[in-house]
Homo-oligomer: A and B are copies of this chain.
Amino acid sequence: MKKLAIGIDIGGINTAFGLVDEQGELYAESVISTRKYPYLEDYPTYVNDLCQALRTMIEGISFEFELVGIGIGAPNANIYSGLIEQPANLWKFRDEEINRDEKRRFYPLAEDISKQFGGVKVLITNDANAATIGEMVYGNAKGMKDFIMITLGTGLGSGFVANGEIIYGHDGFAGEFGHVIVERGGRVCGCGRKGCLETYVSATGIKRTAFELMATMNDRSKLREIPFAEFDAAMISAAAEEGDPIAQECFRFTGEMLGRALADAVTVTSPEAIFLFGGLAKAGKLLFEPTQQYMEENMLFAYKNKVKLLPSGIQGKNAAILGASALIWQQA
């Protein structure tokens, strides 16, 4: 009988999911809102509605298959405990909540979903780790034992693979490379500290760079016509393609910050390759060229010109679902 796994990608706005086979082919997909369930007390309803939507998706499949497991990528998801631990943007306290004990915000998602599907295996991890496993199972990292995955979205996520295994660390939360400090006393980060890599290298980071450069450079630029509130990273890519000097400097600077940080990361895990994934990576050589250049310039001699900088092989709108389902295939 055909074997399929479910992959679920939980974002702050939507929860997308699909049925995937071991080769990464998608047989069905659907989506529910995450935003509709914003508070702590909405969590049980969210779980029920999600499971109902999964059953509907399963019933839509016209052939018989074995459901081998459910893999989930979600913020603050811990693969060891199966819990979503104190997520910043999910199932929050209401403003009027008095008992704000953060210990109440550990959500046993893996167990809660497994129960509704006859005890099927459910594995959860954060979205960057899910993408990393997706790269290993379906993407360009097939057969690699040591690589680094960098996911560029609103923030910067990462997954480190060594000896063929993803590094989850002692507590399940390793791979927060976006929070390596690259500029002492630098840009304020959402984590409460300053100078984290993701304040420079991410969709938000490059936008901040654009505004800094509009202040420090004198060149004419179309970017000067767009207010901060309406600005996004794709506008910088488009302007850079047209030769806009500020937009081009944005990418050079972003590549410099990322390249430096990667040179340091290489000294720790000495990977075969580094993959760039996500929105900003779609800018192609605008980002890859300066990143490669500054990575090599800052690299310890022993590693120079040995580490490949590559695009992800699972780019595309279903990458997050594929990545989540890969959690199951990796252990199947």
Contacts and interface: CB of A to CB of B under 8 A. Distances in A.
Interface stretch (A65-73, A105-113, A163-171, A318-326): A163-171
B174 A269 contact: yes
Interface string A272-299: 1000000000000000000000000010
A260 B185 CA distance: 13
A258 to B, nearest CB: 14
Interface string A169-192: 111111111011100000000011
A232 interface: no
A307 to B, nearest CB: 8
A165 B265 CA distance: 18
Interface string A292-312: 000000101111001100000
A121 interface: no
Given A165-B163, A179-B300, A181-B263, A268 B271 contact: no
Contacts of A175: 267-268, 270
Interface residues of A, number: 41
B160 A268 contact: yes
A145 interface: yes
Contacts of A168: 163, 270
B269 A301 contact: no
Given A171-B303, A173-B303, A175-B270, 7 more contacts: A146-B167, A162-B165, A162-B169, A163-B163, A177-B267, A179-B300, A181-B263
